[in-house]
Structure formats: C-alpha cells, structure tokens
C-alpha cells in the first residue's frame, strides 16, 4: 500500500497562554501525525535548570478534533512525551541544558508523534478466515469520511513554563508544525476503529487518601491507563501515589500495584532509562540515569521516571487482551496517597478503542 509523508499545515509561533489551530487535510487515511517543534532562546540571558520534559512543558493542551465535536486525542505536551516513551521504549530527546545553543536561524528541533495506529500491536491469525488481522493498523483515522479535522494547541506562559529559573532570557523561537504519515489507495468502504486517548486533570482533593475512587467511562474496550502526577503548573513530575487499583463492577481488581513496585516493573518492561540531556556545546551525548536519586516521596526509588504510572491491560499487545467494558456496571480507578500537596495535579489518560460509526 502506498503511503505519503508531508507537512500538513504552516507552522505557527508561540503566543503566551493562547490557543492556535491547524486545519488538517481530509483526503487520506492517517497513521500518525508528527508534531515538530523549533525552539531557540536568545543569547545573553540567565535562564537555568529546565524542567523535566521541557520544552514540551510549554504546551498545556493538544486536542485532535473531528467534525468540530469528536475529540480523538486530548493531552498536554508533557503527557504526549510520556506516551512516546511508553510506545517506543526510549526517552524522547527533550531537556535543554542551554537554550542559547539554538538560534532563530538554526533552532533546536524536537518532535513527538500522535499515533492513530496501535503502536506495538501484533497481527493475529484468524483460523476461520485463514488470514491475519489486527496489528498496528487495527486502528487508523480515515479522514476522507470527515468534514473537518482540527489540531488545537494551547501554549503556556513561555520561559516560566520551560525553566526553573527563567532569568532574563527571551524566547526567540517556539514554532509548532504538524506533519502527517498518511496511507493512500485504501478502500473507501473499509471501516477502522479509533485509537482514542483522553485526559482528565484535577488537583489532589486531599493530602492523604486511601482507595479514593475515580469513575471511568464504560462501553468501549480499554488498552491501558496512564496516570501521572505533576506540580501545580503541570511542569515538573512529582511522586505522590502509594497504590493504584483498577476495579471492575465494584468487586474484581483487574490491576493492583504498589506505586514503587510498578515503577520498578516499568523500568524493566516498558521503558528505557531516562536521559540526562546532551550538551550541544561540548558534544557530550545524553547520559542514562542508571541510578535514581534517593527521595522520601513515595515511589521514587522504584524506577527512573518520576510521577508516571502505566496500567497496561493488553500487555501482550493482542486484541483479545483488551478490556471490553460493554455490559459493565462500573469501572473505577482507586488511588491511594500520603503527603500530597493539594496544589499538585493528577492526570489520567484513558486509551480506549472506539468503533468508527462513520
């Protein structure tokens, strides 16, 4: 099958705390959308200590919306970086030691991928039909059946959302551009389910809680849940959780993890180590964080990423392992924590497979 990679719309520059919108083509079937970011800080400033996951911490919302109403993807820049690490097994290059290395003429380039396919999913042999089905192309976005497809991006404050010490620096360039990977020659009668990722965000309601319930929607198939805990401005990840439980119908615990044990498991199974950033000035490559820094906050010493908890359901990447919640009376996430700040945030990203009604 022929495919195509192209720039989908002209890049748009940063404007403090403002939204921008890209009208994307609706002429092919999307496998992924690549979000490119050009970044440069003016020389002579005193910016110091970038936040973990910067410069994506300056993007507060990313929404992919079909026909002006159906939200297919919804998260912030830092969460999309987390998803890319989970999907591709490596920490995406992000942090910048010295933003002044870039310039308006030669900016520092970054990119993250918004996947419409099911990254890592395996094809399965159907004994009845004698064919293989499923795999990464199980879910795609057929934009030909849409009247519009819009990518909405909301920016943060700028340097204050990039560096612990913004200092006297200037943000000379911060431009976002969408690129697409599209499939051609797909039969128009083909119908693809949608790979939907939707984020809810709220402040910790109390400093301490035991099995606090958060209700999840039922009626579709779940691939995974990604839970993250971040500071009040959604910039730096922080460790706050003690246990995580995914409970079906009020009785059966499908997943139960101690937070530290889960982080230790993820560092082996789902993620490579995080990287201390490269220094372009000295050509020193990024260095793996092999040993986590000892902290008193819960969960830190179990792994090498702070505040990122993956509750994987289809661990073998097969359709039959998805959690089909049709007929469920309830699906809840039970979280426990001790010592949280009520200004910190919990973010829950539900990854579900939705039948395409178009």
Amino acid 302: pLDDT? 42
244 contacts 262 by C-beta, under 8 angstroms: yes
Supply the DSSP string of 276-317, one letter for each residue: EPPBTTTTBPPEE--SPPP-SSTTGGG-SSTTEEEEESSTT-
Residues 6+ apart with CB under 8 A from 87: 113, 115, 119, 120
For residue 357, name the pLDDT band (cuts at 50, 70, 90).
low
Residues 6+ apart with CB under 8 A from 106: 40
Q: Is the pLDDT of residue 217 over 50?
A: yes
Q: What's residue 347's pLDDT?
A: 95
268-283 burial, b for 16+ CB within 10 Å, e for fewer?
eebbebbbebbeeeee
Query: What is the rounded CA–CA span in Å between residue 114 and residue 87?
Result: 11
What does the mean pLDDT of the chain come to? 85
More confident residue, 164 or 216: 216
Q: Which residue has the higher pLDDT, 231 or 98?
A: 231
Q: Is the pLDDT of residue 277 over 60?
A: no
Torsion of CA 7, 11, 17, 18, to 10 degrees: -90
Cis (ω within 30 of 0) for the bond into 55?
yes
pLDDT tier at 298, thresholds 50, 70, 90: very low
Considering only residues 260 and 229, tell me which one the structure prediction assigns the higher pLDDT. 229
Q: Residue 342: pLDDT above 60?
A: yes
> Tens digit of pLDDT for each residue in 311-333?
999 999 988 899 999 999 999 99
- The residue with greater pLDDT, 341 or 289, is 341
Calpha distance 24→21 (Å, rounded): 9
The average pLDDT across 207-227 equals 96
Q: What is the mean pLDDT of residues 247-274?
A: 83
The partner residues of 214 in beta bridges, in order of sequence, read: 333
**Measured CA angle at 53 (ends 350, 246), to 5 deg:** 25
What average pLDDT does the segment 158-185 reach? 90
- The topology (CATH level 3) of 3-125+133-354 is Jelly Rolls (2.60.120)
Percent of the chain at pLDDT above 90? 56
Check residues 266 and 93 and name the one with the higher pLDDT.
266
pLDDT at res. 151:
98
For residues 356 and 142, the answer to whether their CB atoms sit within 8 Å is yes
Specify the higher pLDDT residue, 105 or 248.
248
- How many residues comprise the chain? 358
- Asked if pLDDT for residue 301 goes beyond 70, the answer is no
325's tokens: 């919640």
State residue 13's pLDDT score: 95
CA–CA separation, 340 and 246 (whole Å): 21
Average pLDDT on 275-304 reads 43
Q: What is the pLDDT of residues 14-67, one digit of tens each?
A: 999 999 999 999 999 999 999 999 888 876 677 777 787 888 999 999 999 999
Instruction: Report d(CA 52, CA 350) in Å as an integer.
Output: 23
* Lowest-confidence region among 2-11, 94-103, 185-194, 196-205: 94-103
| pLDDT higher than 80, residue 278 | no
* Spatial contact of 48 and 100, defined as CB atoms under 8 Å apart: no
Average pLDDT over residues 229-235: 83
Could you report the per-residue pLDDT of 70-120, keeping only the tens digit for each?
999 999 999 999 999 889 877 776 555 455 555 667 777 889 999 999 998
If one compares 125 and 217, the residue with the highest pLDDT of the two is 217
Burial of residue 265 (number of CB atoms within 10 Å: 0-12, 13-18, 19+): middle
Give the C-alpha separation, 238 to 106, whole Å: 33
């Amino acid at each position: 099958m022929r495919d195509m990679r192209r720039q989908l719309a002209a890049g748009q520059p940063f404007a403090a705390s403002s939204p921008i919108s890209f009208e994307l083509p609706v002429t092919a079937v999307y496998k992924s959308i690549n979000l490119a970011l050009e970044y440069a800080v003016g020389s002579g400033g005193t910016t110091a200590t970038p936040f973990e996951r910067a410069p994506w911490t300056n993007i507060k919302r990313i929404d992919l919306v079909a026909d002006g109403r159906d939200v297919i993807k919804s998260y912030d820049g830092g969460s999309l970086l987390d998803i890319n690490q989970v999907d591709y097994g490596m920490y995406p290059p992000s942090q910048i030691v010295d933003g002044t290395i870039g310039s308006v003429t030669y900016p520092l380039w970054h990119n993250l991928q918004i996947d419409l396919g099911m990254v890592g999913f395996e094809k399965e042999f159907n004994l009845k039909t004698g064919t293989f089905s499923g795999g990464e192309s199980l879910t795609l976005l057929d934009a030909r059946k849409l009247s519009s497809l819009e990518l909405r991006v909301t920016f943060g404050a700028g340097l204050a959302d990039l560096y612990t010490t913004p200092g006297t620096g200037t943000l000379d360039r911060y431009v976002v551009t969408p690129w697409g990977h599209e499939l051609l020659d797909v039969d128009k009668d083909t119908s693809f389910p949608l790979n939907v990722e939707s984020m809810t965000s709220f402040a910790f309601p109390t400093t301490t809680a035991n099995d606090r319930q958060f209700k999840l929607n039922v009626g579709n198939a779940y691939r995974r849940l990604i839970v993250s805990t971040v500071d009040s401005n959604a910039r730096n990840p922080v460790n706050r959780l003690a246990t995580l439980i995914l409970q079906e119908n009020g009785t059966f615990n499908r997943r139960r993890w101690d937070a530290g044990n889960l982080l230790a498991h993820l560092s082996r199974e789902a993620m490579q180590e995080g990287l201390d950033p490269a220094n372009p000035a000295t050509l020193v490559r990024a260095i793996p964080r092999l040993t986590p820094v000892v902290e008193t906050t819960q969960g830190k010493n179990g792994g090498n990423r702070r505040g990122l908890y993956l509750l994987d359901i289809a661990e073998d990447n097969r359709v039959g392992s998805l959690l089909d919640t049709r007929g469920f009376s309830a699906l809840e996430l039970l979280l426990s924590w001790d010592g949280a700040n009520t200004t910190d945030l919990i973010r829950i990203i539900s990854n579900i497979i939705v039948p395409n009604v178009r």
